[in-house]
Structure 1
Amino acid sequence: MRSMHASQVQKNVDVDEVHRIPPQLNYKYLAENAEAVEDNMRKRNYDGNSAQLLKKLYLSQIQSLSDAEQFKIQRDEVNKQIRSAKSKDERQIYIDQAKHLKEQLRVAEEKASAIEAEMVTQALMIPNDTHPDVPIGPEENAKILKIVGEKRTESYPLLDHLTLMERLDLVDFQQAALVTGSKFFYLKNSGVWLEFALIQYAMDKAASRGFTPIITPDVVRTSIAYGCGFQPRKKESSQIYDISTTSTVNTTTPKLCLAGTAEIPLAGMYAKKMINEDELPKRMVGFGRAFRAEAGHGSAEERGLYRVHQFSKVELFAVAAPGQSDGILQEFRELQEELFTELGLCFRVLDMPTEELGASAYRKYDIEAWMPGREAWGEICSTSNCTDYQTRRLDIRYLSSQFKENVGPKDVRVPWHIKEKWVNYCHTLNGTAMAVPRVIIALVETYQQEDGTIKVPEVLRKWIPGQPSILK
């Protein structure tokens, strides 16, 4: 590959800068509550040093900004004295002072700018706050809120999904490993119709509840993924598939990655936007492919479809005002429970503990289905309230309805310092409506018949050609 000229390298830097969304983080809050932030980070299994370092940086920046302001005041005063000097020598003295103050101001401003950059780096390592009712600790501390249905038991052995699906020629991992790599698969024959049926069912169910249907792009800017909280922690490998280009023609391509979930492009739909409060909440249901670079280690409990690098996913997403988000989280959970109840699965609902929240979630519920062939519970979906974690990083705000009552329409021309006090950050929420491979596992293992065929749940039959009741 030919090396790029310096001008081409500069173009690459510039295009990323143009499309970069500077995070609007509340440094004052983080610094003034450093001890509480540090405690929250420990509970979520994060390195808490960022909180204390950020506090020191914040105090140092305040001093640098104060110094810069004083130098500006002194500079302005000296400029006045230059203009009113009564002699050339006196004027030169003031000019020398002005040059010295200009240099001091430059140093102070550069220091403040450098501190700001380091503050961003440290603040981005800090996860969201945590709901006070969230259990503390690792995954085993999850609180079971309810169990729906009963585990299937039979007098004959219940097989795992991979055995069943390979016998029915519904899936092929071996040839996919040759073509692409391990943990990729071909879905075949009736397995294809089962996937399409699950997607149609979930999309239709959400749309009937007023969710706007969206098909999302599977490629996103890496900065958008990071803004959603998918930036890996220190000492962790990334789950993101980065996309690089070796093109010497288009040298202005920004850094891109494959979306790990439709949540990322759905959040990106509202990046750098300001919404009228009376337009909130905005509910969406998006379909996309999910790509995960980390897919487990091939253990017996992860064989087959349980952890794969690429899969179809239907995602619930909402942008809301802060006062709406708690209610929408419950709404998402109720819809998920309805989906899996109608599919006839045995499942349990978990209030997930601090170490399982990731970076963005303020509170998260998981639903695990009983998978008879695995003889274990397996996660099939989750739903999270991310409060303003993502919106501060993607600049998603709303204009309070009180602005219209007190000032005028959204587009009325008023100085920003007047408009700003009516502007707040939205909350975002996400929830899995259908992670297709995991649900296929639960369905195949739950609805297997003694002869090796698979019964099709009633609610899916209309989406399958011929509306079969049995896959064979």
Structure 2
Amino acid sequence: MQQRNYDHAGIYRVAELYEQVQQLEKDVASFDHQRNLVNQSIRQARDKQERQQRIDEAKAWKDRIKDTTIQLDATKKQLEAEALHIPNDTHPDVPVGDESKARLVRQVGEPRTGEVKDHLALAEAMDMVDFEQASKVTGSKWYYLKNQGVWLELALIQYAMQQAYAHKFSPVLPPDVVRTSVAYGCGFQPRQSEASQIYNVSTPTMEASAPPLCLAGTAEIPLTGLFADQMLEEDTLPRKVVGFSHAFRAEAGHGSAQERGLYRVHQFSKVELFAVSTPDQSDAILSQILALQEAMFQDLGLCYRVLDMPTEELGASAYRKYDIEAWMPGKNDWGEISSTSNCTDYQARRLGVRYVAKDFKEHVGGKNVRVPWHIKEQWVHYCHTLNGTAMAIPRIIIALLETHQRPDGSVYLPRCLRKWIPGEPSELK
């Protein structure tokens, strides 16, 4: 907990609340038993007075059960709220510390140096983006993407989706709105010392009892939800999907020169890789996702580096996480363009993503039957979930414009994108 920059006292609060829940459940069961005994004795009463005494006693037990049940429900909610703040376990090879402790895995390409323009100057010169008008319409850190900027975004989406499909990821268009409980179950719960990045959604037509909704911060959330409360068969794993969606982040940085323009915004398009696997498969899938990400960034001609992220940068759900940073000449620094994480069974336990061991079918002679409750522990296991950014569009646009700019103000367009842009141009200008 401390190594991941979480309140380590939380684990003790969870343990304490869990003990309280167990005791209250025992109390409810005991009180119910006592009430049943009294109810049975009512028929044996010798007169009306004794009968009324026993009826009053049964009512008293009923009231105690009601009060204790209310207390139990409240304690369970408190336990769940506290438990959601506990992060996943950490891979033993993960560096310990803050962002500065990230371990360099490899660097591909050499950073471009010399006199260059930043992406905002290039994009505005080509009439690709409009922040000023968007600020009047919506607010700061929102933007209009226009003209060749639109075609570039669509080309990046098409390219990423097709590359993922070629690697056996099934395409999905998930909803942008999810239940807040699903987001929290995925680990998108702010630390208790931090403000939430989630946009909550409500309308006057929603009933008070309706589950609260929010805008998804990443397609990882609805893609995980695609498998929630499902019992999968081991023979069908891994399941790999690629989803395109919009991502919404309420917190959009501090407006520094390093974060100007498209680098940190409230809404952006994103192609996300997601996989559900058995525990034995997840390490290999993490490597596969990372290899696919690198292959795409090499196709785009970007200089990038892969970092094994330290404990304080893992977030709640990640057991291990690799970030990919591209060199962004306009700010003369590296900028994160992608990440991939193995979340092990952290999300699966919270959202009920399980699988039946293939040995069970052999045990029952190949029949499709339900796993009996009394042997579920032996045959049913929690899945592992993994995710990776295939294409975070705005930051890739930054890296492309700044990396491939020419002295005349035009920008070289990588071959892998040209077929999705009208006229199949070799440059943007």
SS at match of 1:443: helix
Structure 2 residue 17 is matched with structure 1 residue 64 = no
Structure 2 residue 389 is matched with structure 1 residue 432 = yes
**Could you tell me which residue of structure 2 aligns to residue 243 of structure 1?**
201
Check the 8 A contact 2:239/2:277 in 1, yes or no.
yes
**Could you tell me which residue of structure 2 aligns to residue 258 of structure 1?**
215
Instruction: Measure how far apart 1:292 and its partner are.
Output: 1.2
SS at match of 2:117: coil
- d(CA) in 1 for partners of 2:250, 2:45: 73
Instruction: Measure how far apart 1:441 and its partner are.
Output: 0.7
Check the 8 A contact 2:293/2:390 in 1, yes or no.
yes
Instruction: Measure how far apart 1:101 and its partner are.
Output: 5.5
**Could you tell me which residue of structure 2 aligns to residue 140 of structure 1?**
100
Instruction: Measure how far apart 1:279 and its partner are.
Output: 1.0
Instruction: Measure how far apart 1:185 and its partner are.
Output: 1.5
**Could you tell me which residue of structure 1 aligns to residue 6 of structure 2?**
46
SS at match of 1:145: strand
- d(CA) in 2 for partners of 1:333, 1:270: 22
After superposition, the Cα gap between the structure-2 partners of 1:103 and 1:181, relative to the gap in structure 1 and judged at 3 Å, is: closer
Structure 2 residue 276 is matched with structure 1 residue 319 = yes
RMSD over equivalenced CA pairs, Å: 2.6
Check the 8 A contact 2:277/2:385 in 1, yes or no.
yes
Report 1:322-333 matches (<5 A): 322-333=279-290
Report 1:387-406 matches (<5 A): 387-406=344-363
SS at match of 1:323: coil
SS at match of 1:121: helix
SS at match of 2:192: coil
Report 1:113-128 matches (<5 A): 113-128=73-88
Instruction: Measure how far apart 1:58 and its partner are.
Output: 2.1
- d(CA) in 2 for partners of 1:49, 1:101: 37
Query: When the two structures are superposed, what TM-score results if normalisation uses the length of structure 2?
Result: 0.91
Structure 2 residue 133 is matched with structure 1 residue 175 = yes
- d(CA) in 1 for partners of 2:248, 2:87: 23
Report 1:259-408 matches (<5 A): 259-407=216-364
**Could you tell me which residue of structure 2 aligns to residue 454 of structure 1?**
411
Check the 8 A contact 2:277/2:384 in 1, yes or no.
yes
Query: When the two structures are superposed, what TM-score results if normalisation uses the length of structure 1?
Result: 0.83
**Could you tell me which residue of structure 2 aligns to residue 19 of structure 1?**
none
After superposition, the Cα gap between the structure-2 partners of 1:464 and 1:410, relative to the gap in structure 1 and judged at 3 Å, is: farther
After superposition, the Cα gap between the structure-2 partners of 1:72 and 1:57, relative to the gap in structure 1 and judged at 3 Å, is: same
- d(CA) in 1 for partners of 2:165, 2:351: 26
SS at match of 2:162: helix
**Could you tell me which residue of structure 1 aligns to residue 179 of structure 2?**
221
Query: What's the CA shift string for 1:24-57, capped at 9, x where partnerless?
Result: xxxxxxxxxxxxxxxxx21111112221112122
Check the 8 A contact 1:184/1:310 in 2, yes or no.
yes
- d(CA) in 2 for partners of 1:389, 1:101: 40
Instruction: Measure how far apart 1:421 and its partner are.
Output: 4.0
Query: What's the CA shift string for 1:319-357, capped at 9, x where partnerless?
Result: 111221111111111111111112111110001111111
Query: What's the CA shift string for 1:206-247, capped at 9, x where partnerless?
Result: 100100011122222222222222222223222112222134
Number of equivalent positions: 428
Check the 8 A contact 2:361/2:368 in 1, yes or no.
no
Query: What's the CA shift string for 1:139-160, capped at 9, x where partnerless?
Result: 1111111111111234xx1111
- d(CA) in 1 for partners of 2:19, 2:225: 33
Query: What's the CA shift string for 1:301-321, capped at 9, x where partnerless?
Result: 111110111111100001111
SS at match of 2:281: helix
Q: Which amino acid aligns with 2:189?
A: Q
Moved more, 183-192 or 92-101: 92-101
Query: What's the CA shift string for 1:7-40, capped at 9, x where partnerless?
Result: xxxxxxxxxxxxxxxxxxxxxxxxxxxxxxxxxx
Q: Which amino acid aligns with 1:143?
A: R
- d(CA) in 2 for partners of 1:247, 1:69: 40
**Could you tell me which residue of structure 1 aligns to residue 158 of structure 2?**
200
- d(CA) in 2 for partners of 1:451, 1:371: 19
After superposition, the Cα gap between the structure-2 partners of 1:373 and 1:410, relative to the gap in structure 1 and judged at 3 Å, is: farther
Structure 2 residue 146 is matched with structure 1 residue 185 = no
Instruction: Measure how far apart 1:405 and its partner are.
Output: 1.7
Instruction: Measure how far apart 1:86 and its partner are.
Output: 9.2
SS at match of 1:430: strand
Check the 8 A contact 2:217/2:247 in 1, yes or no.
yes
Unpaired stretches in structure 1, ≥5 consecutive residues: 1-40
- d(CA) in 2 for partners of 1:465, 1:110: 63
Check the 8 A contact 2:172/2:243 in 1, yes or no.
yes
After superposition, the Cα gap between the structure-2 partners of 1:421 and 1:115, relative to the gap in structure 1 and judged at 3 Å, is: farther
After superposition, the Cα gap between the structure-2 partners of 1:431 and 1:114, relative to the gap in structure 1 and judged at 3 Å, is: same
